[in-house]
Chains A and B, each alone.
Chain A
Amino acid sequence: MNRQSQSAVLFLLGAALLHAGATDLYLRYVKAGLQPLLLAAGVVLIVTALATWWYERRRTKRHHHQAVPQVQAQADDQAPAPAAHSHPEPRVAWLLVLPLLALILVAPPALGSYSATRTGTALQEPLAYPSLPATDPLPLGVVDYAGRAVYDHGRTLAGREVRLTGFVALGHDGTPYLVRMALNCCAADAQPVKIGLSGRIPPVLQPDAWLTVTGVYTPRVARDPVNDGPIPFLQVTQAKPAPTPGDPYDESWNN
């Protein structure tokens, strides 16, 4: 790959990062806190591309200025000169085209039910149970609900109607789960937190479909077949489809 192509790849990569960072696209892959770094990296890549392109242009121009007076003489010995100047460029750099194409053309979705059913629930005991606002129904994160239901035995949830948003995943035995992937840094470390659904569940559940579920606490707890982790249940009173949220991951662990 010569320097002009490298400059083009760098430019496209920088533009792709800027594009992902400026829209919600980056939230499918990394935590929200990385946005400024992504934008900065995009700018640096673009500046690198422009600098590469500019210095390369100057280099070839200088080369041509030297070359023009002796066009005839140089037909034979022009080849070795530039070869000595530019050492072989790394072939592995071609691979950088792959994430570029993946990001621009495919833009893969955030992790969904496939990863969720293959990975055990990552529920951890919360440090504290802050008191909840008095709104009814109470909007709550999937991770928050699961933590309170399992480790506080639903004390703060008693008598409350809660509203949760997550995507649907079906267990191997057909149990419907409402799942949110919790994220620390990037999708490579995303882990699911699952809640079992019981009560008035919609008759047809499509895996990966986003749902907003209203329901009440139930003491029932199951074990995740993958890692034996606790999966609390929610007694559903109402479920309706929801749009994919801007940030599909739960980032409450980052705060």
Chain B
Amino acid sequence: MAIAKAAPDDAKAAPDEEGTHPARQDADGDRKAPHTGPDEQDRQDRPGRPGRQVLGAPQAPQGGQAPQGGQGAAGEVASSDRPARLSSPLVLTMLLLLMVLLQSPVRRALSAPVMQSWMTVFVAVVVQALPFLVLGVLLSAAIAVYVPPSFFARALPSRPALAVPVAGLAGAVLPGCECASVPVAGALVRRGVTPAAALAFLLSAPAINPIVLTATAVAFPRDPEMVLARFAASLLAACAMGWLWQRLGRTDWLRLPAHAPHEGETKGAAFWDSVRHDVMHAGGFLVVGAMAAATLKAVAPASWLRTAADNPAVAVLTLAVLAVILSICSEADAFVAASLTQFSLTARLAFLVVGPMIDLKLFAMQAGTFGRGFALRFAPATFALAIASALLTGWVLL
């Protein structure tokens, strides 16, 4: 009941808030008009693209709906900038308008319990991860723009074999969950940190920072050794992956997007450009991961878990796979692990070690940041090493 009431308010609120921004864009479009003029004529003369400008141009004067007016102005600026085959501001405007017009049929179509639960989990994963993603992106932009490469050369031991554990331990200072560590690790590699060390940091940071360890201690009040086991197993797996990369890794597997600051740009411009790019890029992959996690959470029956818990080997593997599928934030996974009481402590340790290192959401983000070829090799190796490390630690400590 309350939903039906609340939703239209939401729908109205956002365009209202957005109202101030397009107004400025409109003003900008007007001021720019003399400049745009000659260019437009150039365009019209060239063959092959007659329709687009005509389509795009009338958008701005209409301007009844806030987003429409804004996008129209944006469309003019953009289309005068480069010859877009399908101008993205136009597509975006049409998409938003269409969704606003069709919102009640869409909402009706999504009213089945499965769809609602899917949407809730999907939105929850994105909303929960976005602040940490933004934090990580800000940090990574600061590293990429303001920290000179020489700093890392001095801070890390020059021998990669030593740099790996140092970087792994340094992961303890990045508070937050795994969404923050992917962009930061990307920035480290671009800043000349040896990939093996950056990868050790990538894997250890979400698992061994104080927030996550505290949450683990709270979730397992009767098994304080879980905290130590999680710390040891995660650090071990992260360093093992770092060393493995150092021995076997090839740089051509890493495909970092060229990110060099444009010539003549100020540091501020480079900083915000990096933030924009990383939010859009990593954010897009975050959405892919959130969709996968929500699908599995809404569709896979939980009763499978009961049969899996009976066999110790199957139990470890099941929880490791479950950690990959659920893609839970590393700050919360300890509580979920604690509730899986039918499983052994070692199996639950595997859940806690695998989850922050590799899951669907992380895989999508790693593929976006480091390239698909990298992610396809890195993910299975991480998965196997994390399980091995959890088994070893569980055997010693638990």
Contacts and interface: CB of A to CB of B under 8 A. Distances in A.
A179 interface: no
Contacts of B336: 184, 189, 191
Interface stretch (B84-92, B154-162, B233-241, B311-319): B84-92
Contact of B302 (A5, A111, A226): A226
A120 B301 CA distance: 11
Contacts of A74: 42
Interface string B115-154: 0110111111111101110110010000000000000000
Interface string A146-185: 0000000000000000000000000000000000000011
Contacts of A1: 88, 92, 280
Contacts of A103: 10, 123, 127
Contact of B287 (A37, A96, A107): A96
B17 A19 contact: yes
Contact of B290 (A64, A86, A99): A99
A29 B10 CA distance: 15
Contact of B119 (A18, A45, A108): A108
A238 interface: no
B10 A26 contact: no
Contacts of B42: 71, 74-75, 78
A55 B273 contact: yes
B279 to A, nearest CB: 6
Contacts of A96: 280, 283-284, 287
A204 interface: no
B342 A227 contact: yes
A105 B103 contact: yes
B35 A61 contact: yes
Question: Most A CB atoms within 10 A — which of B46, B280, B335?
Answer: B280
Interface string B309-349: 00000000000000000111101110110110110000000
Given A104-B11, A105-B103, A109-B3, A44 B134 contact: yes
B275 interface: yes
B107 A26 contact: no
B326 to A, nearest CB: 7
Contacts of B331: 185
A105 B100 contact: yes
Contacts, number: 294
Given A30-B128, A99-B287, A189-B333, A227 B302 contact: yes
Contacts of B47: none
A12 interface: yes
Interface in B1-25: 1-3, 6-7, 10-11, 13-14, 17-18, 21, 25
B256 interface: no
Nearest to B258: A87
Contact of A97 (B87, B92, B301, B332): B92
Contact of A186 (B17, B128, B291): B128
A204 to B, nearest CB: 16
Contact of A48 (B38, B276, B327, B368): B276
Q: SS class of chain A's interface: helix, strand, loop or mixed?
A: helix
Interface in A227-241: 227-229
Contact of B38 (A11, A68, A82): A68
Nearest to A108: B119
B10 A82 contact: no
A87 B280 CA distance: 14
A134 interface: no
Contact of A29 (B7, B35, B103, B124): B124
Contacts of B13: 19, 104
Max chain B CB contacts within 10 Å: which of A97, A101, A115, A189?
Answer: A189
Q: How large is the interface on B (under 10, 10 to 19, 20 to 34, 35 or more residues)?
A: 35 or more
Nearest to B330: A185
Nearest to A209: B1
A114 B275 contact: no
Interface stretch (B70-78, B163-171, B244-252): B70-78
B110 interface: yes
B21 A122 contact: no
B7 A107 contact: yes
A41 B131 contact: yes
Contacts of B284: 90, 92-96
Contacts of A122: 339
B293 interface: yes
Nearest to A113: B113
A89 to B, nearest CB: 7
B2 A93 contact: no
A54 to B, nearest CB: 9
Contact of B107 (A5, A11, A38, A105): A105
B302 A120 contact: yes
Interface in A136-154: none
A221 interface: no
Interface string A35-68: 0011011001100111111011100110110011
A209 to B, nearest CB: 9
Contact of B116 (A13, A114, A228): A114
Contacts of B45: 75
Contacts of A124: 338-339, 341
A188 B328 contact: yes
A114 B303 CA distance: 15
B288 interface: yes
Nearest to B141: A48
B12 to A, nearest CB: 9
14 contacts: A4-B89, A5-B78, A5-B88, A12-B14, A12-B18, A61-B35, A96-B283, A106-B110, A111-B117, A114-B117, A186-B127, A188-B125, A188-B326, A226-B306
Given A51-B268, A185-B329, 18 more contacts: A3-B78, A12-B18, A12-B67, A17-B127, A29-B124, A30-B127, A38-B130, A45-B134, A82-B81, A87-B258, A93-B280, A98-B291, A104-B11, A105-B103, A105-B107, A108-B3, A186-B125, A189-B332
